[in-house]
Structure 1
Amino acid sequence: MQQFNIDRYFNLLRLKGYEVKPRYDKQRKLVGYTVGKNASVFKASEIGRKYMVSKIEATWKKLHPQPTQVKEKPVSPSVAPAPRPVRPVVHTPTASQPKAQPQITQTAFTINIGDEVKKVWIPNSVKDVFTNEVQIPEDNNIATTENVAHVAMLLFAGYIDAATSMSESCGGGGSTPSSGWGKKDDEDDWRFAHRCAQMAHYMCKPKPRSRSFHR
């Protein structure tokens, strides 16, 4: 992380396949959390005191030391002749001058869904979440990180059916988001992008194999 953020720390753990459960007090202040995988669940203090809520930011700072600022020696002031004032030249726009182009804040991704091609626009502020932070489910030997990223992009853009089709085509078990899936009113793009990445990881998990019994 470029800067410490406890919610992003939890999301990155979830992308690694761990189950994280924060614990809050009555004032909604974070007072602890647990990390689990399979049947094992540990409190942060059991993993190590430096991972406790009260100490984890200090631990992060130790791992990301800030560069030491070097004080420059003050330079003796020098007197220079004052420049002659120059009258500003006002440029009048003409019809031949091109208009300023608006700054592009989104990137378009073209995704193939069977015989259909989807063009998905993703804000640059969250593009790195899909291209750098998604991971393939451990038991999926077919999907690639690009497949999982495309499922997340489609979820972010609101193409639920297309996201489901893509997850199935790359080995997913056909899981779909609940009917209330979507961006929340109080949720920014970055947090929603991380939820989409987590959901894409879940959708790309294969169906569990049923055990057969032989006599």
Structure 2
Amino acid sequence: MSPSPEHTSFYDIEDWQKLWHEFVEEFDKQTITGKDGKVRSSPTNLANSKYTVYLHMESKGKVPHLHAAICRFDENGNINNDHNIHLRAQRAAERVAVKRGWKTAEEIRSRNIPEVSRECMEVLRTMPSWSWEEYKKALARRGYSVYERKDKKDILRGYAILKGNTKYKASELGVARNLMISKLPRTWQKLHYRERLAAQVNTYQSYRPEPVQRPAADMDYTHYRSGSVSYTLSSHGGTEQRFYIPERVLDYFNEEFDYREVANSSDLTDIAVAIFVGMLDTPVVSTGGGGGGSQSDLPWRDKDDDDLQWARRCARAATLLLGKKPRTGLRR
């Protein structure tokens, strides 16, 4: 049994003994039944069995908890059924926590998931390049342990993060399971793409290239015009710049990068808009397979281009830079 340290920081040995007796009482009350309502496991009798209880300090997190070694036979010679012993222990601990007004292990775990997710994202954000080993080391420096799940061929198929006595599966973390092992590289790429775009926004806010650097006339999309709609280019860090582009141009981008069919539609639209408004003037590094390009790939707006012609060229350039990722699963 392992209560949160804040509940036991001032416990003496008698407090721990009382806690143990409450746990045993709740453990022995339980009858395990199946879905058909039939009894699968009768109540145990740990309270009337021989046992030894150890107060142990967890080595890494220094969290005190109880271990117990209990005889299979009670004092009356009856067998203590060990069927679903982990379920019994979990239920007993939950009931003790409720009786004492403590937050249950599940409540604490659920409360911590956003913070664990945030730390994982921060680790990815600070990594200059993607590496599974570096990801694990960075989490370890933050006090986490990483449990790897590999198949028979020693191929990594999944992982879980442990802190103290609490385990968090990767599928439970992040947004849309974006911290699962199969999605981690893409999540890293997207984070760093956003940072590059934020740098472009900052550059645009403080400095606008002289028109002579381009063979076409620049247009100002920072002010509202009739028939325009607002579009904000932003980053995870909160940096943002608002532009006003023709509504039919945004409609074209939304159709070209239909979110129902294109997995990275948001990223592609951001890049296309950035090119369209003249913000993207420096090389852009590809964010994944299927793309790849630099400044030489970016189009310049011809003086004879109308908005839609220019939008089509921007969409093609965005696709070249990022690659269009088809969305798996159901489509329209």
Q: TM-score band, normalised by the shorter chain?
A: 0.3 to 0.5
TM-score (norm 2): 0.25
Structure number with bigger Rg: 2
TM-score (norm 1): 0.38
